[in-house]
Amino acid sequence: MELVSVDDIWSASADITGQVLRTPLMRAPWDAELWLKAESLQPVGSFKLRGATHAVARLTAEQRSAGVVTHSSGNHGLALAHAATAAGVPCRVVVPEGAPAAKVDRIRAYGVEVVTVPPPRRGAAAQQIATETGAVLVPPFDDRRIIAGQGTIGLEIVADLPDVDVVLVPVGGGGLSSGVATAVRALRPTAAVIGVEPELAADTRDSLAAGSVVSWGEERTYRTCADGLRLPPSELTLAHLLARLDGIVTVTEDEIRAALSRLVRDARLVVEPSAAVAVAARLFRRAELPTGRTAAVVTGGNVEPAVLAAALAD
């Protein structure tokens, strides 16, 4: 299987320049060796805009006319709706029942078609729409264009912190971690890229141990509050992670909520639970991590007000 290269990521960087925010790498006020890559500041509130913008940029004229379709719990759908609308490309988004209303409402605000299905059916439903309409399927992570787009975060981390020793990156389907690991390994080979996922959705930990995709099933992973990290890796993303990820750790629900609170209170960043897992690893799993200058990817800020209020009340 051909893996995404750093050259692919540089090409993605050229495609998204001027359309995606080059987010700051901020010093964490409570930790002298921790920097925060604040992707929650993107116009759509998450890193997903990078991959979606790159994917839309690579469409042919015929594909643009047919439009795009995806399935998403919110952030990727929101990003693709934004990128497609900006490019004048028709867009449909399949969302699972129970997806955060704050994200789904923002997707609808772009005027795109939203289709709601039971969680296990979302991938099949998106594929069916693509087959019936001719729309181009843009998956949330199982796609070389998406991996390359998300990998631009790695380019920026190394540019802003050339002596970075550790990069902590949340892991769900694995598109972000695949891209970041590819970029960092190419530009800063001595740095370790460590994945972080919830204990209640540790598909990737088990997949890495088995050497093949292990899926817990969404009925089981829906227990975690980190709704963006409930899917297992694909064969494509797992191949990247097996080759390029240096390790993985898991964090508990209480640790995720505590990290969310710390980010809001002390870093003044509004974040969602999925975005807090990398910081949770630094706060509560430090003994399991390599030492040194650490960058944590803070992936998004599209959080339900009730979830945010509950985390801050603890």
Catalytic (active-site) positions: 48, 73
Give percent helix, percent strand, percent coil of the chain, each to the nearest 5. Answer: 50, 15, 30
How many CB atoms are closer than 10 A to CB 294?
27
Which candidate, 21, 79, 101, 28, places its Cα nearest to that of 264?
A: 28
Cα 300 to Cα 49, 280, 295: the distances in Å are 10, 15, 15
Cα 106 to Cα 43, 45, 81, 185: the distances in Å are 12, 11, 9, 35
Which candidate, 114, 94, 92, places its Cα nearest to that of 105?
A: 114
Which candidate, 288, 210, 214, places its Cα nearest to that of 248?
A: 288
Q: What is the dihedral of CA 176, 179, 180, 181, to 10 degrees?
A: 120
Cβ atoms of 259 and 279 closer than 8 Å:
yes
Cα 301 off chain centre by = 12
Cα 293 to Cα 129, 183, 262, 289, 299: the distances in Å are 46, 17, 19, 11, 19
What whole-number distance in Å separates Cα of residue 57 and Cα of residue 36? 28
Beta strands in 157-260 (DSSP E): 166-170, 192-198, 247-251
What whole-number distance in Å separates Cα of residue 198 and Cα of residue 229? 8
What whole-number distance in Å separates Cα of residue 26 and Cα of residue 43? 18
